[in-house]
Amino acid sequence: MTKFADLDLSPALLKAVNRMGFEEATPIQAKTIPLSKQGKDLIGQAQTGTGKTAAFGIPLIEKIDVKSPHVQGIIIAPTRELAIQVSEELYKIGMDARAKVLAVYGGSDIQRQIRSLKKGPHIIVGTPGRILDHIKRRTLKLNNVHTLILDEADEMLNMGFIDDIEAILETVPDERQTLLFSATMPAPIRRIAERFMKSPETVRIEAKEMTVPLIEQFFIKVPEREKFDVLSRLIDTQSPELAIVFGRTKRRVDELSNALTLRGYTAEGIHGDLSQAKRLSVLKKFKSGKVDVLVATDVAARGLDISGVTHVYNYDIPQDPESYVHRIGRTGRAGKEGMAITFVSPREMGYLRIVEQTTKKRMQPMRPPTWDEALEGQQRITMEKLDEAIKEGNLDEYKTVANELLMEHDDAVSIIAAALKVLTKEPDKTPVHITEERPLPAKKDQYHGGGNNRNRRGKSGQQPYKGNRNKSKPQRRSGRRP
């Protein structure tokens, strides 16, 4: 392993790195930092979480002339969350070198950003739209930029930012160093590299084991029109402490969060159209347990630090396996078990197999619970709450009324059954509107042996239902109305 002390860093950078607790460089840092310090253009192909920010941030800060009040480095990121995350890490890395870092992104007061830009930041981290906005307003001048970094370029392509990126690249001096980082390398990203980079070196870091062993992974083969009822019954049966539901589009997220609320769950959605303040408010409520079901798009969830998630429901299977890995990585953290359940329409089974090839782990088929099983799940939650109340005691104030009930109705079982009925939230079948979306384009089965692999799954009805795995363990209700 390469140590940071072996990478010929300045004392200020080494001090910052040591303070941050880093001693050994990750593979991408060990390969990228020496090449970047030589001024070479670089293409880094690596997954999220491999240490990319320090890989490009350390050599960038080494090059910054802190005595100059001009912007010298610019980093373009796909989302506000990632821009904030990158700027915070660069601030820590550059603290001892006195490098000034500023994040600019949509959804935040532009006048405040303009005032901050006048204070002479050395490095700008921002989303394409807001960077371009500042360039057009002439509040951001890039004529002194010597380093430009594109972070998660494939994600920016998916979000439709290619034209904005090209417009920004046109305004940066030709004599510069360009670094491009991307988990995948689709053709449009390669074209940008060919057009705007000079003989770039490529650094590839192969993804290690892409899934967390503690995550149980299941799939449910279900037609589009039946997905929401299946989701409702799953939540009722499993009673997740904290759950994330992933949808493919902004409209899907809005409709799902509204529909879940209609059926009595505490749910909120986040996607790219929400203001930054609203997104932060939703996440704060989710982390504190005031919201038990978070509905999100892939883009909105990137860069979010969320812990305690017990269940991830992929309402729509993602188009690429990297997104799947990113989604399910939200659960099973810190040594805790997690469960990921993916809904797959019959025409999307090819995508399921591609995900399995990438993760090298087969998902187990799951039979969706029935309405009766959903009711049983709710009854079990009520029973556990009653059991907790009995163990806690402090029931003297209620015993007089309880005795009156026993005298009036001498059947204790009937009294308990009535209490369970009153306290149990029965599965809600309130009609909801979820716009049907077309399935992803057909994918051929990429498993060797083609159609023969269908036999390994059997019929969905032959698999036992995987509900709450520990019935004796009290679980918190998922915020549903009593």
Strand residues in 354-450 grouped as ranges (E): 364-365
Give the pLDDT of residue 50. 67
Q: Name residue 219's beta-bridge partners.
A: 342, 365
What's the angle, vertex CA 331, arms to CA 275 and CA 277, rounded to 5? 10
Give the pLDDT of residue 465. 40
* pLDDT, tens only, 106-118: 888 899 999 999 9
Residue 278 pLDDT greater than 90, yes or no: no
What ranges do the domains of the chain cover? 4-204, 215-371+427-462
Give the pLDDT of residue 442. 59
Give the pLDDT of residue 453. 37
Give the pLDDT of residue 171. 92
Q: Is the pTM for the entire model greater than 0.75?
A: no
Q: Which residue has the higher pLDDT, 357 or 336?
A: 357
Give the pLDDT of residue 379. 84
Give the least confident one: 232-236, 243-247, 267-271, 385-389.
385-389
pLDDT band with cut points at 50, 70 and 90 for residue 387: confident
- Tell me whether residue 63 is exposed, middle or buried, using C-beta atoms within 10 angstroms of its C-beta: 0 to 12, 13 to 18, 19 or more: middle
Residue 467 pLDDT greater than 60, yes or no: no
Q: Which residue has the higher pLDDT, 307 or 116?
A: 116
- Tallying the residues shown for the chain, one arrives at 482
The hierarchical CATH code for the domain 4-204 is 3.40.50.300
What value does the mean pLDDT take over residues 23-41? 87
What value does the mean pLDDT take over residues 239-261? 91
Q: What architecture does CATH give domain 215-371+427-462?
A: 3-Layer(aba) Sandwich (3.40)
Residue 293 pLDDT greater than 90, yes or no: yes
* pLDDT, tens only, 179-231: 999 888 888 888 888 888 999 998 887 655 454 557 889 999 999 999 999 99
Residue 468 pLDDT greater than 70, yes or no: no
Q: Which residue has the higher pLDDT, 432 or 357?
A: 432
Give the pLDDT of residue 25. 82
What value does the mean pLDDT take over residues 450-463? 37
The answer to whether residues 193 and 148 touch, using CB atoms and an 8 Å cutoff, is: no
Mean pLDDT of the chain: 82
* pLDDT, tens only, 360-384: 788 999 999 998 888 888 888 788 8
Give the pLDDT of residue 473. 39
Q: Which of 158-172, 264-278, 323-337 has the highest mean pLDDT?
A: 158-172
pLDDT band with cut points at 50, 70 and 90 for residue 463: very low
Give the pLDDT of residue 46. 75
Give the pLDDT of residue 244. 93
In this structure, the strands spanning 147-150 and 73-76 are parallel
Q: Which residue has the higher pLDDT, 382 or 73?
A: 73
All residues at 6 or more sequence positions from 47 whose CB lies less than 8 Å from its CB, including other chains:
183, 205, 207, 210, 322, 325
Residue 455 pLDDT greater than 60, yes or no: no
96: how many CB neighbours lie within 10 A of its CB? Answer: 17
What value does the mean pLDDT take over residues 123-149? 94
Rounded-to-integer distance, Cα 73 and Cα 121, Å: 9
Q: Which of 122-131, 327-336, 469-478 has the highest mean pLDDT?
A: 122-131
All residues at 6 or more sequence positions from 158 whose CB lies less than 8 Å from its CB, including other chains:
299
Residue type, 225: R
pLDDT band with cut points at 50, 70 and 90 for residue 120: very high
Q: Is 299 strand, coil or helix?
A: helix
Give the pLDDT of residue 335. 53
Same fold, 4-204 and 215-371+427-462: yes
Give the pLDDT of residue 302. 61
Give the pLDDT of residue 301. 67
Give the pLDDT of residue 305. 57
Give the pLDDT of residue 422. 79
pLDDT band with cut points at 50, 70 and 90 for residue 476: very low
